[in-house]
Amino acid sequence: MEEHYRAIIEAIGENPDREGLLRTPHRAARAMEFLTQGYEQDLDEIVNGAVFESANDEMVIVKDIELYSLCEHHLLPFFGRAHVAYLPSGRVIGLSKIPRIVDMYARRLQIQENLTQQIGQSIEQVTGAVGVAVVIEAQHLCAMMRGVEKQSSRMITSVMLGRFRDDPRTRQEFLELIRSSGR
């Protein structure tokens, strides 16, 4: 990967042997490995058995989960926050596992629409929940730094599964709770 970054530096007309750029191909390669580490992870590994029996059947929400990803179309970052909720059906997942699942999928080349679905489907699969909801709000550097250059634009995506899709009251409760203060 380092050789490719060196070639990119040369292709834009820079000298990769210039003092400030000498180790840039190495640093850029390590950064890309970090930013795409989600390809090396899998759901079972992330969850690591942290699903527990519970009689709770009320909504569980983890909101304002920071996320950082790379747009698969331009290899530019997008970043924002995810809100994830589920309605348990006899099992709950360890609290830290939800942000880890978000990170696993965000640390891949992505589009926000797919990222939202992947998170929702994974939470549903792992917990057996009767409903899962995910909302992601993110800013995309591909729309801010190039193209339309709209710095204030945000993209919002959602996926509603099970009762969140079928029951408007459950969906509304979730949306009101993620809008509430306490950030």
List residues forming the annotated binding site for Zn(2+): 71, 74, 142
Q: Is 41 marked active-site?
A: no
Q: Is 149 marked active-site?
A: no
CA distance 85 to 26: 40
Q: Is 142 marked active-site?
A: yes
Q: Is 10 marked active-site?
A: no
Binding-site residues, in ranges, read: 71, 74, 142
Q: Which of 41, 117, 139, 142 is catalytic?
A: 142
Q: Is 71 marked active-site?
A: yes
Cβ atoms of 65 and 84 closer than 8 Å: yes
Residue 38 DSSP one-character state: G
CA distance 56 to 92: 8
Q: Is 4 marked active-site?
A: no
DSSP string, 82-105: EEEEEE-SSEEE-TTHHHHHHHHH
Q: Which of 40, 45, 72, 113 is catalytic?
A: 72
Q: Which of 14, 73, 125, 172 is catalytic?
A: 73
Q: Which of 83, 110, 118, 140 is catalytic?
A: 140
Active site residues: 71-74, 112, 140, 142
